[in-house]
Structures are given as C-alpha cells and as structure tokens.
C-alpha cells in the first residue's frame, strides 16, 4: 500500500516536473519549478552522511562473485551438509503443532519458551541467576544483537576499541551509530614453523594507551573469527581490569562459544570479578546449532544495559520469528538434558570439526601455505605468499593483494576464500595482505576437492 502511494507521488512529481519545465521556457515566475527540479535531479536520494563510506561489504561482493563463477566455496561460515536432526525435526513439528498461536507474533523481546531456556542455560554457565525477561534479548541473529548494542549504547564521538582482525560489521556499526572505532591489531609472535592462534596476541602497552575518557567500550570476540584464538584468562583479566579502571562496557561476541578444541577452554569475560555489570554477551543459534539461515541470536547481561538494546530492537525488528524461536528452544532443552554426555551437540560439534581442521591444515601446508591452527571456531587463516609467483595478481585491480589473490583464485582455480584485510581498519590492512581465510565446516568430500584443486594448481 505505502509502496504504491510512494510510486504515485513519484509519478505525479515527475509529471509536474515535465509540465513545469515546458512552462519555464515561457514564463520566468515559477517559484516552485526550481524546487521540484532540484528535488528530482539532485542528491535527495543519496546516502545520508552518516552512512557514507559504509557502503562496501566483503559479503555482498564475494557472494556475487561465487554466483558468477561457481567456485568450490570455502568463503562463508556455514556447513554445506545437513543441520542436526533434532533441531530440524523440532521445526517441522512446530510447523504442524496443534497450537495455532505458534505461527503468530510472539513477545517482542523474545519468545517466552526461548528466553526461559536461554536464561536457565547461561545461569548455569555463568553461575548467576538470570532474569529471562530482563536480562535476555532475542534478536535477528547475533548480527542484530551487535547492532542493537552499538546503536543503543553510542553517543556521537564515543570511542569503541576494536581488536583486529574483527568480524567486519563492527566497524560500520560503530560508525553509523556516530561512534569512533579505535583499532588494535593481534599480531603473530611467530610466522614460520607451526603457528597457532595462540601465537596471535595484542600488545598490552598499546591496548592500555587506547583507553581514555571518550572510550565507551571494547568489542571482544572469543573464540575469534577469523584467527580461531580462544582468549586466555590472563588476557581477559587484563582487558577486564582496563574496562573497570575506565568504567567502560565490554561487548563480548561469543558466537563460537561451543566450538573449542581440546585442551582449550572458552572463558566468558562476564564471569570475571565485577564484570557482569559491564558486559553484554552475544550468542547465535545459527552458530550454536549449525543453522545459520535461521538467523536467531541473543544478548544477555544486566537489565539496565539491555534496556538500551530493547529500545533499538522494539523500534526496528520488534519481534523475531515465532516457530524458529520455538524450535531453538526445543533444541536447547534437549541439549541441556545431556550436557555432560559426549553426544551433547555443544561437545560433539567440536569433535566432528577437529579432523576437518587437521585435514585442512595438512593440505594447506602441503601446497606451501602457512596455516594458523585455530584453537576454536571453524575458520583457518593461511599465509599464501610462498605461492605468489603462481598467481597473476596484475589481472585484478583491487588495492589489497589478498583481494586480488582471492578473486584470481575464484576465477582461475575455482576455489573461493575470503580476503582478511576486510577485517581490518584503514591503517592496518597491510598486516593481512599475505593471508586468506578458509572455512572448514564443509563435507569431507568438498575439503578433499579443495585439496585436489590446490595441489593440482600448485604443482603446475
Ligand atoms: C564473530 C561473529 N559474530 C557474529 C556473527 C553473526 O552471527 P548471526 O548469523 O547469528 O547473525 C558471525 C557470523 O559469521 C560471526 O562470525
Ligand atoms: C536427539 O535427541 C535425543 C534426546 O536427547 C537423543 O537421544 C538423540 O541422540 C538426538 N539425536 C541426534 C541425531 O543427536
Ligand atoms: C608470510 O610468509 C612468508 C614466508 O613464506 C614471510 O616472509 C612473510 O613475512 C609472512 N607474512 C606475514 C604477514 O607474516
């Protein structure tokens, strides 16, 4: 209806413009003519200033590239095989459930069955009683939880500390909220031999120097995308102490919380002393249950901090899909009953991924790349610079070498990875130009096909 009304207004406007234009040549006194003309011709529909410079997205570009060249895609982070049956069966059952209300709007801040089980689950994990109605917000993916957090907690000029490389949306989300990103890069202590994600560390002096009166908070991601780093207790304590000293927020993106390889352990920064009151923790059903297309996420934290997120959520998304929330709630309830058992999906997923991780590390090494072995998550960063003489980088025109490498590989070798400079602020992109990010939550046969493609190409 409103689309039609909009179209009609445009039509009338353009007719008016045409009529008035022919009139101007005869009469000079059409005050409104100039206005109408400038409205349709000029920048009325350009990006508003606050969005300028935030129009590029590696995902938009690389999904288009994949559609065009149909490579074997190790780019985006999702499985190319079936999601666990328990959750998909739950969704099928919800669709046919006797209760007709399961197909209708539900509570805006989260479907009751889902917020109840999320609160129960994390109450156990963080050893504190969460109020399902005030300390949990269900969102359209972790993405919206990040967005609501940054929109809801940023005043113009507020500074947010972002650790590079970072999940790319942090930067535009801070900027479009009127905030200023301050970057600090993780750097590998060693770059040859066996490199692990634990080798990638931040400089503590540099971290300390970023905190000041304008700091609103720091965005943390553990387990980390794309490095796979699982932050240590010591690192988290260091960050927590600075956050307390400067009285700032911690946004902890923990979407890969259940994908951690032995012997590493995921530590929730909200559990450190006096940290719950200043931490917003973000999770994702897409990552937790390997159903990224379901796009349900959540934030949990103290009621006064979540209030700001609720205001953004109720004025944008308002409420998420009811049947999908119901199905995820059922999934959580099932897994909570078998938390201690190895079959629990929160344990079995990492077991399932471990051989895939090791297989990928092996074939990347065999072709001459230097992989960073991840402690968590399902991405692997690899230094490809030993193969540079096999790539015709000059056939691509992007500024950063990793973009040229990944595009050339997609078009000429039929294998797609993601250029990690997309995960850096403007100053530090050169740090990542030798790298590519590959995802290994893929069928064994597709990992094998990727290995074959790379080996054939590298041996030419
Ligand atoms: C670190 C990180 N945060 C957030 C998200 C977004 O999660 P969701 O699909 O639930 O919006 C992703 C997805 O790849 C991610 O890697
Ligand atoms: C689904 O959940 C049930 C009940 O906990 C469990 O016994 C079964 O193994 C699960 N199925 C799968 C495929 O994990
Ligand atoms: C990538 O590996 C090469 C050796 O193959 C090394 O010279 C280079 O410094 C590495 N790049 C980075 C950013 O560590």
- Residue-wise pLDDT for 237-265, tens only, equals 999 999 999 999 999 999 999 999 999 99
| CB of 420 sitting under 6 A from ligand 1 | no
Q: Ligand 2 atom 9: the closest Cα is on which residue?
A: 343
Using a 6 Å CB cutoff, which residues line ligand 3?
A: 191, 370, 383, 385-386, 434
Provide CB contacts within 8 A for 92, sequence distance 6+: none
CA of 191 to the centre of ligand 3 (A): 6
Distance CA 355, CA 332 (A): 26
Which region among 43-47, 214-218, 298-302, 433-437 has the lowest average model confidence (pLDDT)? 43-47
Give 373-418 pLDDT, tens digit per residue. Answer: 999 999 999 999 999 999 999 999 999 999 999 999 999 999 999 9
Mean pLDDT of the chain: 92
Q: Which ligand is nearest to the CA of 432?
A: 3
Q: Considering only CA atoms, which of 173, 141, 144, 145 is closest in space to residue 160?
A: 173
Distance, CA of 40 to CA of 240 (rounded, Å): 52
Counting ligands in written order, the one closest to the CA of 191 is 3
Nearest bound ligand to CA 370? 3
Cβ count near 191 (within 10 Å): 12
Closest atom of ligand 2 relative to the 335 alpha carbon:
5
For ligand 3, atom 7, the nearest C-alpha belongs to 385
pTM attached to this predicted model? 0.91
| Average pLDDT estimate for 439-456 | 98
- Side-chain-facing half-sphere of 339: CA atoms under 13 Å: 10
Q: Whose CA is nearest to atom 13 of ligand 2?
A: 85
Query: Which ligand is closest to the CA of 365, given by its number?
Result: 3
Q: Mutation test of ligand 1: which of 143, 227, 254 has the most ligand atoms closer than 8 Å to its C-beta?
A: 143
* Span from the CA of 47 to the centroid of ligand 3 (angstroms): 39
Interval between CA 427 and ligand 3 midpoint (Å): 19
3-state class of 135 per DSSP?
coil
């Amino acid at each position: 209806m409103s689309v039609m009304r909009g179209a009609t207004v445009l039509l009338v406007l353009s007719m008016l413009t045409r009529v008035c234009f022919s009139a101007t040549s005869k009469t000079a006194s059409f005050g409104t003519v100039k206005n109408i003309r400038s409205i349709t011709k000029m920048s009325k529909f350009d990006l508003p200033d606050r969005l300028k410079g935030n129009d590029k997205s590696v995902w938009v570009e690389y999904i288009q590239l994949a559609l065009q060249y149909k490579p074997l895609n190790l780019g985006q982070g999702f499985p190319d095989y079936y999601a666990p049956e328990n959750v998909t069966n739950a969704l099928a059952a919800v669709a046919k459930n006797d209760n007709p209300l399961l197909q209708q709007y539900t509570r805006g801040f989260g479907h009751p069955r889902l917020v109840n089980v999320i609160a129960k689950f994390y109450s156990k994990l963080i050893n504190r009683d969460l109020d399902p109605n005030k300390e949990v917000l269900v969102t359209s993916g972790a993405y919206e939880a990040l967005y609501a957090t940054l929109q809801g907690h940023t005043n113009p000029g507020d500074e947010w500390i972002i650790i590079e490389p970072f999940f790319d949306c942090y930067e535009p989300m801070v900027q479009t909220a009127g905030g200023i990103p301050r970057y600090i890069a993780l750097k590998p202590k060693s770059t040859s031999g066996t490199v692990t994600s634990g080798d990638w560390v931040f400089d503590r002096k540099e971290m300390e120097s970023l905190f000041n009166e304008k700091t609103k908070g720091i965005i943390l991601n553990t387990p980390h995308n794309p490095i796979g780093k699982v932050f240590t207790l010591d690192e988290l304590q260091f960050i927590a102490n600075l956050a307390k000293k400067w009285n700032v927020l911690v946004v902890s993106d923990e979407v890969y919380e259940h994908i951690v390889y032995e012997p590493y352990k995921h530590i929730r920064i909200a559990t450190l002393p006096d940290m719950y009151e200043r931490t917003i923790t973000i999770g994702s059903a897409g990552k937790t249950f390997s159903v990224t297309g379901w796009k349900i996420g959540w934030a949990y934290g103290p009621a006064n901090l979540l209030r700001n997120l609720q205001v953004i959520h109720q004025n944008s998304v308002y409420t998420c899909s009811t049947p999908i929330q119901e199905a995820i709630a059922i999934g959580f309830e099932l897994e909570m009953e078998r938390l201690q058992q190895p079959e629990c999906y929160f344990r079995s997923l990492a077991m399932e991924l471990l051989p895939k991780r090791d297989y990928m590390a092996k074939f990347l090494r065999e072709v001459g790349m230097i992989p960073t072995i991840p402690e968590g998550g399902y991405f692997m960063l690899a230094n490809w610079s030993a193969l540079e003489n096999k790539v015709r980088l000059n056939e691509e025109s992007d500024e950063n070498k990793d973009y040229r490498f990944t595009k050339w590989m997609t078009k000429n070798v039929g294998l797609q990875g993601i250029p990690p400079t997309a995960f850096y602020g403007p100053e530090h992109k050169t740090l990542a130009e030798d790298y590519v990010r590959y995802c290994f939550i893929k069928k064994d046969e597709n990992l094998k096909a990727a290995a074959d493609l790379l080996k054939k190409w590298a041996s030419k």
